[in-house]
C-alpha cells in the first residue's frame, strides 16, 4: 500500500545528539563565523558555480543555500564543508584554531588507538519526520543541483554514506559512493570494481538475489568522514564512527531492508539493486578537476522507502579542482597514516608529513 507517513514531534528522540546532528554542527560553525548563507541561487548553474568558487581557496566558509527557486524555503543545501583545518577541527571536537600538524597528530593517535564504539538501535529519530513509500516516493523533492556544467545529471549523493550488508557474514559496510538521481524512485550507485560496496553487491547477485542498499544524503560530517576513509574489510564502520565521535551512533532499521540508518540523518532512502538492472550514469566532474569518464552503465537502485527530516538539508562534498571537499580532509588523515607507517618501518626522526590534495589524495 502506498503511504506517506508524517510522524509527530512526540515520536522523535528525546535529546539532540550534537555529535550526530548536522544542524548542531551548522550552529557550531555559525557561532565560529564559518557559514556563508546564500538565498535564491538556482540549482542548474548557480549553486554549483558558487560552490566551485568557494572551494578554490582553503579556509573559505561553508556555504548554506536556501530559498532555492522551485522548492520550499527550508529545503537547504550545505557544501564546502571540510576544506579547512579549522572546520575539520570543529567536526572532531578539537580546538578550532589548532594547527595542521596538530590535526595530523590527532589522526595518528586515532589510528593507533583504533577506538571502537558499537552503534545502538533506536525506534525513532528525526529522520522519520517524513516517510514515503510506493507512489509517494519522489527524491526530487530535494533540490539536488547540477554540480558541474557538463555533468550528466543530478547527484544527490556526494557527501553521503552508502550502507550495505555482506550476505554471508552480516558485516555492515558504508562508503562514500556517488549517487545519481534519475527518476522519482530510481537512482544509480557507482562503486569502482574492488571497492567493498562492489564486492558485496556481487555476492548477492552471484546468489541470484537483489542487493539491499541504503543511501544517506545528509548527516553529520564526522559520519561522512568515516565513509570516505580506508577502513579494512570486515571492520564495522559504525564502530569506527562511534570511536571517532566518542559515543554510539544511534541507528534505525530500514523499514524494507533492515539496514542500519543513522536516526539523526537529514535525508535517506533504501531499496534494492537487482541483477542486471543498470542505467546510464555520468559523467560527474571528478576530484582531479577534470571529467575522468563519460556516460556508462551503473547499477540501478529501485527505491522502496524515502525518508527526510522536516526542512531537510542535503550535504554536498563536491569533487573538483583540488583542494576540494572530496579530498582535503582525507589528506590530513593520510598524513597521519603515512607518518605512522614511516615510523613502523624504522625511519627515524620524522618531523612532519603532509599529503597534498593535488598531489595524490587517493593513494
* CATH number of the CATH domain containing 236: 2.30.110.10
Taking only the tens place, the pLDDT of each residue in 115-172 is 999 999 999 999 999 999 999 999 999 999 999 999 999 999 999 999 999 999 999 9
Residues 273 and 347 in one domain: no
Residues 229 and 131 in one domain: yes
Residues 51 and 109 in one domain: yes
All residues at 6 or more sequence positions from 161 whose CB lies less than 8 Å from its CB, including other chains = 174, 175, 176, 215, 216, 219, 223, 224, 226, 227, 262
Residues 161 and 259 in one domain: yes
Residues 277 and 158 in one domain: yes
Q: In this model, does residue 363 exceed pLDDT 70?
A: no
pLDDT score, position 189:
98
Residues 76 and 89 in one domain: yes
pLDDT score, position 356:
79
Owning domain of residue 60? 4-113+317-359
Residues 15 and 137 in one domain: no
Residues 92 and 34 in one domain: yes
The number of domains in the chain is 2
Residues 108 and 140 in one domain: no
Taking only the tens place, the pLDDT of each residue in 281-332 is 999 998 888 898 889 999 999 999 999 999 999 999 999 888 888 788 888 9
Residues 265 and 354 in one domain: no
Residues 32 and 71 in one domain: yes
Residues 109 and 203 in one domain: no
The mean predicted confidence, pLDDT, of the chain is 92
Amino acid at each position: 500500500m502506498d503511504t506517506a507517513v508524517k510522524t509527530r514531534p512526540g515520536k522523535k528522540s528525546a535529546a539532540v545528539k550534537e555529535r550526530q546532528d548536522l544542524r548542531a554542527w551548522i550552529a557550531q560553525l555559525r557561532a565560529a563565523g564559518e557559514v556563508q548563507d546564500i538565498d535564491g541561487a538556482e540549482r542548474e548553474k548557480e549553486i554549483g558555480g558558487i560552490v566551485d568558487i568557494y572551494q578554490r581557496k582553503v579556509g573559505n566558509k561553508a556555504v548554506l543555500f536556501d530559498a532555492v527557486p522551485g522548492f520550499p524555503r527550508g529545503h537547504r543545501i550545505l557544501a564546502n564543508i571540510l576544506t579547512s583545518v579549522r572546520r575539520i577541527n570543529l567536526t572532531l571536537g578539537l580546538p578550532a584554531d589548532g594547527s595542521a600538524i596538530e590535526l595530523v597528530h590527532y589522526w595518528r593517535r586515532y589510528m593507533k588507538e583504533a577506538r571502537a564504539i558499537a552503534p545502538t538501535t533506536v525506534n525513532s529519530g528525526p529522520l522519520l519526520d517524513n516517510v514515503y513509500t510506493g507512489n509517494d516516493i519522489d527524491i526530487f523533492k530535494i533540490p539536488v543541483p547540477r554540480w558541474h556544467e557538463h555533468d550528466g545529471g543530478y547527484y544527490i549523493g556526494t557527501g553521503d554514506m552508502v550502507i550495505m550488508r555482506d550476505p554471508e557474514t552480516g558485516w555492515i559496510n558504508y562508503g562514500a559512493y556517488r549517487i545519481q538521481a534519475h527518476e522519482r524512485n530510481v537512482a544509480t550507485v557507482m562503486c569502482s570494481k574492488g571497492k567493498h560496496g562492489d564486492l558485496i553487491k556481487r555476492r548477492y547477485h552471484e546468489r541470484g538475489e537483489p542487493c539491499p542498499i541504503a543511501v544517506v544524503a545528509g548527516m553529520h560530517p564526522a559520519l561522512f568522514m568515516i565513509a570516505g576513509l580506508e577502513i579494512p574489510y570486515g571492520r564495522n564502520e559504525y564502530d569506527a564512527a562511534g570511536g571517532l565521535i566518542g559515543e554510539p551512533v544511534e541507528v534505525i532499521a530500514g523499514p524494507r531492508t533492515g539496514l542500519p540508518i543513522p536516526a539523526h540523518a537529514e535525508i535517506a532512502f533504501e531499496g534494492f539493486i537487482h541483477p542486471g538492472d543498470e542505467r546510464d550514469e555520468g559523467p560527474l566532474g571528478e576530484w582531479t578537476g577534470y571529467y575522468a569518464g563519460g556516460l556508462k552503465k551503473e547499477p540501478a537502485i529501485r527505491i522502496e522507502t524515502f525518508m527526510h527530516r522536516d526542512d531537510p538539508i542535503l550535504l554536498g562534498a563536491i569533487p573538483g579542482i583540488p583542494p576540494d571537499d572530496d579530498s582535503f580532509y582525507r589528506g590530513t588523515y593520510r598524513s597521519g597514516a603515512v607518518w605512522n607507517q614511516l615510523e613502523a618501518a624504522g625511519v627515524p626522526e620524522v618531523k612532519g608529513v603532509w599529503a597534498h590534495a593535488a598531489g595524490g589524495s587517493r593513494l
